[in-house]
Structure 1
Amino acid sequence: MANSSLPSSFDKLVAESDKPVFVDFWAEWCAPCRAIAPTIKQLAQDYKDRLLVIKVNVDEKPHVASKFGIQSIPTLMLFKNGQVVWKTVGAAPLQAIKTQIEPHL
């Protein structure tokens, strides 16, 4: 299951995680974000041993969204060793996400 709570230091989390970190930037009012939520949950379950999945509510953490230039949601990003290695904007099917992130795991 995706971790909906964000630690106090996002930078520390993505830099020090022993697994790649998959981030779903979303908001309650965003219909595509709500539509992709089950996909993100499934992704977290399927990759629970290989990937840390977190959700960042852009309304609650605007400084994090701003730092990464998030202008549209949902925006999905994959961090590895503190660096962004993959990013997409908009809802996507589970298999498409898996195909794109797999080389980074």
Structure 2
Amino acid sequence: MTKFGELIGADKPVLIDFYADQDEVENSLDTLRDVAAALGISARVIKIDIQKNETLADALRVKGNPTFMIYKNGEMKWRQTGFLDASTLIDLVKQYV
């Protein structure tokens, strides 16, 4: 959890995708690559496997897959469960740049 605290403490937005392997078809890695490419250095895009990080997922009450969160300066700014396309995610993150 210490590493997570360091990750979300950045002064630029961090988009986190909590996913599970069985959801990889719908929760496409290509979507996140597109988001990361569009945002460049203005934000970070991270994928976290719920099954490998159960303690963190439980602490954040992640119940559905995928669950997206945006953090900035250690504070959660936005959260939603369910698949979103790249352009929607890009627009959401840009609000916090």
Query: Could you tell me the TM-score, scaled by structure 2's length?
Result: 0.88
1:29 equivalenced with 2:22 (yes/no): yes
On the 8 A contact 1:32/1:90 being kept in 2, the answer is: no
1:57 equivalenced with 2:36 (yes/no): no
| Structure 1: segments with no counterpart, 5+ residues | 1-6
CA distance in 2, matches of 1:62, 1:11: 16
* Aligned pair partner of 1:67 in 59, 70, 82: 59
What is residue 80 of structure 2 aligned with on the other side?
Answer: 88
CA shift, 1:8, in A, is: 5.8
What is residue 14 of structure 1 aligned with on the other side?
Answer: 8
CA distance in 2, matches of 1:47, 1:86: 17
What is residue 3 of structure 1 aligned with on the other side?
Answer: none
On the 8 A contact 2:18/2:49 being kept in 1, the answer is: yes
What is residue 34 of structure 2 aligned with on the other side?
Answer: 42
On the 8 A contact 2:35/2:87 being kept in 1, the answer is: no
| Structure 2: segments with no counterpart, 5+ residues | none
On the 8 A contact 1:27/1:58 being kept in 2, the answer is: yes
Superposition RMSD in Å: 1.6
- For residues 45-69 of structure 1, what are the alpha-carbon distances to aligned partners after superposition, in whole Å with 9 as ceiling and x for unaligned? 1112101111100000011111111
